[in-house]
Amino acid sequence: MNKETTVSYSDGRFQPITEKCDGCGRVVEEEGVQYCKSYLYPEVKWKQGLCNFATHAKREISVVTVRINPLKAAKRASKRK
C-alpha cells in the first residue's frame, strides 16, 4: 500500500473513543489519541445500550424460573395421552 491509499485515524473521519470503550480489544492509539478501528463514531454505538463491537463487555442473560401449579400440570399431562 502506498501512502495515498492508507487511512490515518487522525485525518478527521474517526472520532476518539468514549470512556465506555476503555479495555476493548479494538482500540488503536495514534498520536496519543485512542480510536476504534471498527467504527468511525464509537459514541453512537453505545446509545442503545451495549456496543456490538465491544470485546470487553458481554450482555447479561437472566434465567427466570416459572412455578407451575402441579394440579394444572397433571391435567395437561393427562390430556396428552
Fill in the DSSP letter of residue 26.
T
Stretch (H or E) spanning 29: strand 27-30
pLDDT digits (tens, 9 = 90+) for 46-78: 888 888 888 888 878 888 888 889 898 888 888
pLDDT band at 4 (very low <50, low <70, confident <90, very high): low
pLDDT tens, position by position, 8-53: 776 778 888 889 888 888 888 888 888 888 888 888 888 888 888 8
Q: How many whole angstroms separate alpha carbon 73 and alpha carbon 75?
A: 5
Q: Specify the amino acid at residue 10.
A: S
